[in-house]
Amino acid sequence: MADSTPVVEFQATDFFHHQSAHALLISAFYKAKNLGLFALLQQHLKLKMKKRTFSWLDKLTTLWASIVVGCNHTVEINDRLGSHEQALAALLGLDHFPDQSQVNRLLWAFSTDHLQQWRRLHLDLLCRHTKARNRCHWLLLSNRQRLLAVDLDQRALTVSCNQFELSKKGYFGRKRGRYGYQLSVAFMGGAVSEVIDEYFDSGETPAAHRLEPLLDSVLEVCRRTRIPADCILIRGDAQFGTPANIKKIKARGFHYMFKGMNSRRARKLLTQVDGEKIFWQVDNGAKQAPAWMCDLGDTEHREGRRRAKEHAVVSRTLLMVRQLKMPASKRADPKSREQLKAAGQYYKTEIKVDYFLTDLDCRQLPLEQVLEVYHDRATIERYFYDEQYALGARQVRTHHYAGEAIFQFLVATTNNLLRWMQKSTFRGTILEKMGLGRLIRQGMQIPARVTRKAEKWIVEMPKQHHLVKQLLKSWAELSPT
């Protein structure tokens, strides 16, 4: 260590007007352009917005770029994509990026009519470029048959007050009494990981409310990609596991697998199990309680109060029993909890009974693979996590309902584009295997110097960067110097 303190002088300079903090955003932009995103935006979106310095497409491009570089809120556009990113803006065809106030005005310019326009745009882009045509990405069953898994789920978005348009009180987990929205999504799970369609509704909307339009979107994708309907497996958690929902799925020719919704029905099934039936222990994951399952075969299920036979559904039913250790007293104070634990009386044993409904037979789906196939729904849970913590959809961006719904759809479209980019542009590199969170937080933060020579742009990335070192070995577009 030096004995004397060095003299430090700070200066402002324009030397860095050729520098960019997001080199791979350039690659993402040209990939999206080649896939036709911006052409489809101009074709499908009929947005009337007065142009002063920037068109509505320039502002929408900036909003899309802010998602790719990891902005958690619109206000961060000024920091990540401000006037200091001149070289990056020039490559995207802009003099400079619009600021966050102009992007906010864009979100307020959208109406509910634009939602259906964006839905057509999203499906057009998906049907042109989806990786679902490659059957090696599909779910492999025990009889060597492959099915394309489509997961249905819903996630909540809470807001701070009731001034957000169409926000309502609903079920938001631990955030009771809050206002918010519900986002219902149809998602191709497994290795495909692409969003088919989504609906943004007020907070009191149940999950099954959007079931039929989501199924129709899946059917449209099947028609346009020539995937037979009987090659689709619809999966969902207990909120979809009712006879009425199963009837709608069977009417469209899809296979299904759901967790049963009625807990009392599960306990009743347990009491009716024949003495000759055998409960087999099955793998329930490393961190889960051991599970025993029994195949009840084809069983009739009826809908709630509508007990008439015409409302019944016959489905293969799989009963699962788990033995859980639960706290004996959740309301005990910390001192009492310690005393109960020392006496070995803090935990009590509870029997948890669940059941699953599917139309896959025992040759396609043996008992020991049921939980593995059902837990593969984790890919949609991972998408919800990436959507919130990587793609910037954790917070509601505007008080205007249509603007927020369009933003959520833009996030879904961006997810698909980044997945296709990983499997094409970054094929064979370290970036192909990354999750979206790491791709955005690390890959999109590689700095570069951007210069122009005649009609050619040169993007120079530092060799010493740990990701650039990996890219030098395998990325064809990065020619070593």
The tokens of 43 are what?
A: 């074709």
pLDDT value of position 481: 47
Residue 1 has pLDDT above 60, yes or no: no
CB 19 within 8 A of CB 87: yes
pLDDT value of position 121: 95
CA distance 43 to 190: 32
Percent of the chain residues past pLDDT 90, beyond the cut: 60
pLDDT value of position 5: 81
CA distance 65 to 83: 14
Which amino acid is it at 159? V
Q: Would you kindly state where each structural domain of the chain is located, as residue ranges?
A: 15-114+397-474
Give phi and psi for 39, each to the nearest 5: -65, -40
Residue 328 has pLDDT above 70, yes or no: no
CA distance 202 to 181: 4
Q: What's the pTM?
A: 0.90
Pairing mode, if any, of strands 19-20 and 448-453?
Answer: antiparallel
